[in-house]
Amino acid sequence: MPYTVLRTCRSCGASNRVPARHLSDAGRCGSCKSPLPPLDTPLDADPQMFESVIAEAQVPVLVDFWASWCGPCRIAAPEIGSLAREMAGQAIFLKVNTEQHPELSERYRIQSIPNFLIFKRGRQMFQQAGWGGREQIQRRLQSAGQFAAP
């Protein structure tokens, strides 16, 4: 069974199961049939969600590796949230707490945070340690979106 993410309808409050491959698509609430826009907020990802979204997403995926004690992570978080709203339907944003999921940090050799990875159709396209600014991340996502991965 494909991995699903619960999305709450803004009109009626109903929970809707959205497959990872459709997180960037607009849909309709299963209950009230109101529009359910593309995902526009970063998702806190556990290893299972991470694997599914990376593998199934039809758009680039930005992964923000962070920790609650990290000052630069706290500075970057609102900018990443704003960028997620702005790029809804064009990219998916995941957040991985390095303290809760060290196995993901180890797999991608994360040695400093914040650390940003961009994936397209399961393939890592970019990695950046440190917060280089919103514009740089946005350019990298747009570039990955134009790349035609096999």
Q: Two tokens at 52?
A: 């599914």
Per-residue pLDDT of the chain (150 residues; tens, 9 = 90+): 678 999 999 999 999 999 999 999 999 999 999 999 999 999 999 999 999 999 999 999 999 999 999 999 999 999 999 999 999 999 999 999 999 999 999 999 999 999 999 999 999 999 999 998 899 999 999 888 875 444
Q: State the pTM of this model.
A: 0.92
- 118 touches 62 (CB < 8 A): yes
Q: Which amino acid is at 56?
A: E
Contact at 8 Å (CB) between 32 and 17?
no
Give CA–CA dist 44/67, Å, rounded.
12
Token digits of residue 127: 């990695």
Residues noted as catalytic = 70, 73
DSSP code string of 67-93: -TT-HHHHHHHHHHHHHHHHTBTTBEE
pLDDT (0 to 100) of residue 2? 75
Closest CA to 92 of 13, 15, 14, 20: 20
Ordered by where they begin, the domains of the chain are 39-146 (3.40.30.10)
pLDDT at 145: 80
